[in-house]
């Protein structure tokens, strides 16, 4: 793969940014990658592990002269960062992000993007429950989807370059409008996370009664909930506050389905339960057939594959 950008700046050095760096280096997609994190401890860690060619002590310093700036901070911090870096953005540069919510990010970031700078929001659908600069790895995006969400008037050449970067990092790339993205993610990610947090919270209440039996005797279903619920609290707080409408719509639908299942259990309607479980089982098979997971007993998430 050939170089796509001369200089890329990563603002925020967590799981996604660190994985981007290793994936960029693996494929030689950028001449230099600069990085910045708000926390001095994170910057020290990044320097120690060789994350980024140059770790800077301010966001402005990291961004100066960059052809691509990637905002890898929680959705709630996007506006402040955009405002801070705006004065030093290079004319013709592209600003993108990796946030899990798109309409809100467009609303708060767009006003700060100077004329002559391209803003192309994006969202890689990849991650683990781990966070921080040491959690990244080059293979994170391999055969995962990255969604580009161009704003009105986005430059086709700038979109094509960003697409080439994500494809070079191993991702499949699709384009989507912001509102549709937020609804899709409410179904596939946001509501499931909230349900997982709730289930683990309920179990924590129960644990006080059962003297840790919930943890000792965890079956695979509960373990999967705890893996999801171990995700970064700041990021997920911001996701729910900024994708409120779509998440509430899906949670409303979820509640209706839950009531229907409760009724089926109460009335002994085994046919309803069997038909429902058969339909949902087919969705799992579709995910495996699409190459987005494996049917191995551990879901392919052994120690060697985070």
Check residue 137 and give its pLDDT: 96
CA distance 116 to 137: 33
Residue-wise pLDDT tens for the chain (306 aa)?
Answer: 689 999 999 999 999 999 999 999 999 999 999 999 999 999 999 999 999 999 999 999 999 999 999 999 999 999 999 999 999 999 999 999 999 999 999 999 999 999 999 999 999 999 888 889 999 999 999 999 999 999 999 999 999 999 999 999 999 999 999 999 999 999 999 999 999 999 888 887 776 666 567 777 777 778 888 888 888 899 999 999 999 999 999 999 999 999 999 999 999 999 999 999 999 999 988 998 988 888 876 555 554 443
DSSP bridge pairs for 135: none
Pairing mode, strands 94-97 and 118-119? parallel
User: For residues 129 and 228, is the Cβ–Cβ distance under 8 A?
Assistant: yes
Pairing mode, strands 122-124 and 145-148? antiparallel
Check residue 130 and give its pLDDT: 86
Check residue 240 and give its pLDDT: 95
Check residue 165 and give its pLDDT: 98
Q: What are phi and psi of 31, to 5 degrees?
A: -70, -45
DSSP states of 51-104: -SSEE-SSHHHHHTT-SEEEE-S-GGGHHHHHHHHGGGPPTT-EEEE--S--HH
CB under 8 Å to 56, separation ≥6 — which residues?
Answer: 34, 35, 36, 62
Domain covering 5-176, topology: Rossmann fold (3.40.50)
Pairing mode, strands 30-36 and 54-55? parallel
Check residue 238 and give its pLDDT: 95
Check residue 303 and give its pLDDT: 44
How is the beta sheet containing 68-71 ordered, strand by strand? 54-55, 30-36, 5-11, 68-71, 94-97, 118-119
Q: What are phi and psi of 34, to 5 degrees?
A: -100, 160
From-to residues of CATH 1.10.3660.10 in the chain: 180-268
Closest CA to 66 of 53, 77, 79, 75: 53
CA distance 87 to 7: 18
CA distance 75 to 79: 8
Closest CA to 17 of 58, 83, 100, 73: 73
The three-class DSSP label of residue 144 is coil
Check residue 304 and give its pLDDT: 40
Which DSSP state fits 121? -
Enter the tokens of residue 248. 């509430």
Up-side HSE of residue 59: CA atoms within 13 Å toward CB? 22
Check residue 127 and give its pLDDT: 84
Class of domain 180-268: mainly alpha
From-to residues of CATH 3.40.50.720 in the chain: 5-176
Check residue 293 and give its pLDDT: 85
User: For residues 138 and 25, is the Cβ–Cβ distance under 8 A?
Assistant: yes
């Amino acid at each position: 793969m050939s170089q796509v950008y001369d200089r890329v700046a990563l603002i925020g050095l967590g799981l996604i940014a660190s994985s981007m760096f290793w994936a960029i280096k693996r494929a030689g997609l950028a001449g230099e990658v600069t990085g910045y994190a708000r926390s001095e401890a994170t910057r020290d860690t990044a320097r120690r592990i060789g994350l980024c060619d140059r770790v800077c002590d301010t966001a402005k310093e990291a961004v100066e002269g960059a052809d691509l700036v990637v905002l890898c901070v929680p959705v709630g911090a996007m506006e402040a960062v955009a405002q801070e870096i705006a004065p030093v953005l290079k004319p013709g540069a592209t600003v993108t992000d990796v946030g899990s919510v798109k309409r809100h990010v467009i609303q708060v970031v767009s006003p700060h993007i100077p004329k002559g700078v391209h803003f192309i929001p994006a969202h890689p659908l990849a991650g683990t429950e781990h966070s921080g600069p040491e959690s990244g790895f080059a293979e994170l995006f391999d055969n995962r989807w990255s969604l580009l969400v161009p704003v009105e008037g986005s430059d086709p050449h700038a979109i094509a370059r960003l697409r080439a970067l994500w494809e070079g990092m191993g991702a499949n790339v699709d384009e989507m409008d912001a509102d549709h993205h937020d609804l899709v993610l409410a179904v596939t990610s946001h509501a499931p996370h909230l349900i997982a947090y709730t289930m683990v919270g309920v179990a924590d209440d129960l644990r006080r009664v059962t003297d840790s039996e919930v943890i000792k005797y965890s079956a695979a279903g509960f373990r999967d909930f705890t893996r999801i619920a171990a995700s970064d609290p700041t990021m997920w707080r911001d996701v729910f506050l900024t994708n409120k409408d779509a998440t509430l719509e899906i949670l409303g639908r979820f509640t209706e389905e839950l009531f229907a299942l409760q009724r089926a259990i109460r009335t002994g309607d085994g046919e309803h339960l069997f038909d429902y479980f058969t339909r949902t089982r087919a969705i799992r098979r579709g995910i495996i057939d699409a190459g987005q997971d494996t049917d191995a007993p551990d879901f392919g998430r052994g120690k060697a594959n985070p």
